[in-house]
Structure 1
Amino acid sequence: MQSVELFGGAGGLALGAELAGFTPSIFVEWDRWACDTVRENQAAGFPLVSGWTVHESDVRDVDWTSINGPVDLVTGGPPCQPFSMGGKAQAADDRRDMFPAAAEVIRQLQPRAFLIENVKGLTRSAFANYYQLIQLRLQYPEVVARNGESWFDHLRRLQSEATTECYTGLHYNVFPTVVDAADYGVPQRRHRVFLVGFRSDIGAEWSFPSPTHSADALFYSQWVSGEYWERHRVPLKKRPEAPANVDTKRKQLLNTDPQALGDPWSTVRDALSGLPAPTSPSAQRFLNHTFQPGAKIYPGHTGSPLDQPAKTLKAGAHGVPGGENMLRDIDGSVRYFTVRESARLQTFPDTYELHGSWSEAMRQLGNAVPVRLAEIVAQSIATQLKRVDQQGNAGLNISQQLTEVS
């Protein structure tokens, strides 16, 4: 199945789509460093990116008529800074707002489905009207803004189209969902909003994949069964202190079927299993696994505990982002995550190399979609599209049989 990747960054979302059975024929990203990451992995023979045509450009400057055949899926994560808690939160007034550009690509390509990802901040009450505009714009891609029309007037016109029965243009059923990546096996607490749409004429019946992992299951494996510590061979004296509510929580979970809890959240320790310390001579056997000095704790930024999912990786090196891209060990000491460790927290393969300095590679990873989460969502879309195709083929076969009988 053919897909198109917009705002591709380091490739997390596109890699997940590739693993789910889609082939991104065009990969668009304006940042040279991120494009170099993909190009260097192509040169190194990394198989998942071999068929991607990299366009180092603005998505608004791409000639989409060059694509041959129908597009099954458009994926992309428009720049999050207009809606991020760490940004200026200017939404439509931020020149980096690329949701209109994404909707325009969907209008031109008319894919059977799309998968758009962004920060949870997009759903903040301050952005309520603009968030509604984004959803309606994706639902009705052909209802474009007029010259000189404000975004709020555009919203009012879209609302009018959504409530009329006369609209006959391109239409998508859009499903907005906020998720925590940790609930899907990613070793990181990363809250994101997904906007998944299916073209209304294909008859899709879809819902967002159910969570597979939970905090309660992690608690059970650590403080009820102890399986977590045994699996990692952590002696009692090297385990962290039990949480304050351990007795109450333990009693509660003892009366619960462990299987009903799902799988345990993946932790930093889980993610880094098998990686040598970055100061070890054997660290050089791993790509991007180089010690970065200078980590320190300061108020509000204490790093990620070893035996919990990591805090959200940030797209930066120093200041607030750098202060959180740290590992906090059992003894309270901290150090920066290496690029390879951060890539594991974002579930990138170990053989996928990030291009650039530590700060540049961390920026790419902080902006990326976890590969595992992308694959799970893209796989659910692929399954639905295949079901639609199978039903269509079954209908054709029945029609042929009736024709032969008559």
Structure 2
Amino acid sequence: MKSVELFAGAGGLAMGVSLAGFESLAVVEWDRWACDTIRENSNNGFPLVQGWPLWSGDVREFDWSGVPEDIDLLAGGPPCQPFSMGGRHKAFGDSRDMFPATVDVVRRLKPKAFIIENVKGLTRSSFANYYQYILLQLEFPEVARREGETWADHLKRLQEEKTSGAQHFNGLTYNVVPTLVNAADYGVPQKRERVFIVGFRADLGAEWSFPTPTHSQDALLHSQWVTGEYWGRHGISLKKRPARPARSESRIRKLSDSFIPLDRKPWRTVRDALQDVPDPRKRGAKSFVNHKFQDGARVYPGHTGSPLDLPSKTLKAGDHGVPGGENMMVRDDGSVRYFTVRESARLQTFPDSYVFHGAWGETMRQLGNAVPVALGRAVACSVAEQLALTQLRQLANQRHRKLA
């Protein structure tokens, strides 16, 4: 199966797509540091990115003539700053809004499916109309915006097309499924809420839903405060365990009284993710690439870091992780320090041998903008499975018609 990746960044989603069995025909990214990261790993022979057809530049300037229509998958995460909780919230008024460019590529390539990822802020009430506008453009990519037409007027035309009955529309249409997910529910050691917009071309007749979560907070609480298995696994004695979280007390009591088996694995915590990674200031640290201590971490109101025994806070693009101290860990003694680049890569489920290029701030920006590889793989695998099923159905129908 063939794919194209837009806004690839350091390669998180694209690597997940590769792990799902897709072959990249184009990997497009404008940031030179992120491109250097991909190139360095490709040159080093890292298998997932080796031979990627990387193009460094604006997606709107890419020459698509060499990429055939009807590819299997288009994937990408348009820049999130226009919709980020920490951004200026300009949405359609922000020059970094790349959703129009994404729709243009969908219109041109007519992929069988697409996966688009963005921040939770995209779903906030103040963006409700523009969020609907994005979804309708992806559903009807050939109902293009006219010259001089405002996005609000274009939205009205799209709404009219929708309500008039999509089944009567003769052009390119997609069945679009938007889902807000927490990466921690899929085995990522990070509480990272993101929107995934997945679409299948309507003519395929695909029947798809977002993958079922594999991990849960309840299972973690049970492992920590009911069975104690979590602490035993990490060799932490009763005296060294933190206090039971007061805000979860009622939930722990219910889990203690319940005989219903938990059907999901425990959320993975910072301690789980980093258990074999030495302190960057101690012996053995040099055996891990990108594992250099960064001084200057401090606590102040609203900037408190990530506890070891929960999934980390959402890693943010940049060095300090403002405003919540997301890029710091809180150690057992209560002190804080910044996550190293390698530790941050672990929290984003990048392989240890994957090298990040650039200074600390640049590499942390790449990581903060990335899709966790494990989450990207889970979504891409489910899409690949559905595409394979639709192909089998089409072959079966062709045989049936021949026999008839």
TM class, shorter-length = over 0.9
* Aligned partner (choices 195, 198, 204) of residue 197 of structure 2: 195
Q: Give the superposition deviation at 1:323.
A: 3.1
Q: Give the superposition deviation at 1:107.
A: 0.3
Cα pair 1:25 1:51 within 8 Å, conserved:
no
- Note the residue ranges of structure 1 that are not aligned, 5 or more in a row: none
Q: Distance in 2 between matches of 1:273 and 1:228?
A: 12
Query: What TM-score do the two structures reach when normalised by structure 1?
Result: 0.96
Evaluate the alpha carbon distance shift between residue 246 and residue 382 of structure 1 in structure 2; reply closer, same or farther with a 3 A threshold: closer
Q: Give the superposition deviation at 1:321.
A: 5.6
Q: What residue in structure 2 maps to residue 241 of structure 1?
A: 243
Deviations 1:167-223 (A, max 9, x none): 211000000100111111110000100100000001100001111111111000000
Aligned: 1:305 with 2:295 = no
Q: What residue in structure 2 maps to residue 340 of structure 1?
A: 342
Q: How does 1:256-335 map to 2 (within 5 A)?
A: 256-257=258-259, 259-318=261-320, 320=322, 323-335=325-337
Cα pair 2:304 2:324 within 8 Å, conserved:
no
- Note the residue ranges of structure 2 that are not aligned, 5 or more in a row: none
Q: What residue in structure 1 maps to residue 256 of structure 2?
A: 254
What is the root-mean-square deviation in Å for CA atoms of aligned residues? 1.4
Evaluate the alpha carbon distance shift between residue 74 and residue 319 of structure 1 in structure 2; reply closer, same or farther with a 3 A threshold: closer
Query: What TM-score do the two structures reach when normalised by structure 2?
Result: 0.97
Q: Distance in 2 between matches of 1:225 and 1:25?
A: 49
Q: What residue in structure 1 maps to residue 61 of structure 2?
A: 61
* Aligned partner (choices 375, 381, 384) of residue 382 of structure 1: 384
Cα pair 1:17 1:378 within 8 Å, conserved:
yes
Deviations 1:249-272 (A, max 9, x none): 333112334633411000000110
Q: Distance in 2 between matches of 1:274 and 1:201?
A: 49
Q: Distance in 2 between matches of 1:10 and 1:40?
A: 11
The alignment partner of 1:48 has SS state of coil
Q: Give the superposition deviation at 1:65.
A: 1.4
Q: What residue in structure 2 maps to residue 131 of structure 1?
A: 131
Q: Distance in 2 between matches of 1:329 and 1:179?
A: 28
Cα pair 2:69 2:109 within 8 Å, conserved:
no
Cα pair 1:4 1:25 within 8 Å, conserved:
yes
Q: What residue in structure 2 maps to residue 102 of structure 1?
A: 102
Deviations 1:34-83 (A, max 9, x none): 00100000000000011311110111101111114631000000000000
Q: What residue in structure 2 maps to residue 228 of structure 1?
A: 230
Q: What residue in structure 2 maps to residue 156 of structure 1?
A: 156
Deviations 1:340-360 (A, max 9, x none): 000000000111111111111
Cα pair 2:69 2:111 within 8 Å, conserved:
no
Q: Distance in 2 between matches of 1:319 and 1:181?
A: 18
Q: Distance in 1 between matches of 2:45 and 2:174?
A: 37
AA partner of residue 161 (structure 1): E
AA partner of residue 374 (structure 1): G
Q: Distance in 1 between matches of 2:63 and 2:320?
A: 38
Evaluate the alpha carbon distance shift between residue 346 and residue 319 of structure 1 in structure 2; reply closer, same or farther with a 3 A threshold: closer
Cα pair 1:214 1:261 within 8 Å, conserved:
no
Deviations 1:220-260 (A, max 9, x none): 00000000011111122221111125654333112334633
Q: What residue in structure 1 maps to residue 173 of structure 2?
A: 171
Q: Give the superposition deviation at 1:287.
A: 1.1
Evaluate the alpha carbon distance shift between residue 257 and residue 54 of structure 1 in structure 2; reply closer, same or farther with a 3 A threshold: farther
Q: Distance in 2 between matches of 1:186 and 1:257?
A: 27
Q: Distance in 2 between matches of 1:317 and 1:79?
A: 18
AA partner of residue 196 (structure 1): V
The alignment partner of 2:299 has SS state of coil
* Aligned partner (choices 391, 398, 401) of residue 399 of structure 1: 401
Q: Distance in 2 between matches of 1:321 and 1:247?
A: 28
Evaluate the alpha carbon distance shift between residue 289 and residue 321 of structure 1 in structure 2; reply closer, same or farther with a 3 A threshold: farther
Q: Give the superposition deviation at 1:281.
A: 2.5
Q: Distance in 1 between matches of 2:67 and 2:288?
A: 37
Identical pairs, percent: 62
The alignment partner of 1:116 has SS state of strand
AA partner of residue 63 (structure 1): D
Q: What residue in structure 1 maps to residue 142 of structure 2?
A: 142
